[in-house]
Amino acid sequence: MVPLNYYLLLSAVLFVIGAAGVLIRRDLIVILMSVELMLNAVNLTFIAFARSLGSMDGQVIVFFVMTVAAAEAVVGLAIIISVFRHHRTLDPRQMQLLKW
């Protein structure tokens, strides 16, 4: 059986990649994908612990997270489409109307 640490390490790596993507990339769609990546990294942790501890709680939470993530993707993509129609760009640096 694969030891717990491997899973945790993998999910940590995935989370950091996701976080870096959110902070660095210049495209809203990629940023949204990176957020999904972070969520799934967390899901992986939950599953790994549930398996390791023999408890169902973690798996239940993962279902919740997946539901929320689906809803979030729907709303997020809708906003992105609307933003694109308005600005003709998806670069977050161009969207600074709310500063000061």
Tokens 């809708």 identify what position? Answer: 78
What 3-state class would DSSP assign to 26? coil
Q: According to the binding rule CB under 8 A, does residue 86 interact with another protein?
A: no
Residue 82 sits at the vertex; the CA angle it makes with 79 and 87, to the nearest 5 degrees, is 120
Q: According to the binding rule CB under 8 A, does residue 8 interact with another protein?
A: no
Q: According to the binding rule CB under 8 A, does residue 95 interact with another protein?
A: yes
Site string for another protein, 33-72 (x = CB under 8 A): ----------------------------------------
Q: According to the binding rule CB under 8 A, does residue 19 interact with another protein?
A: yes
SS3 content of the chain, % helix, strand, coil (to 5): 80, 0, 20
Q: According to the binding rule CB under 8 A, does residue 90 interact with another protein?
A: no
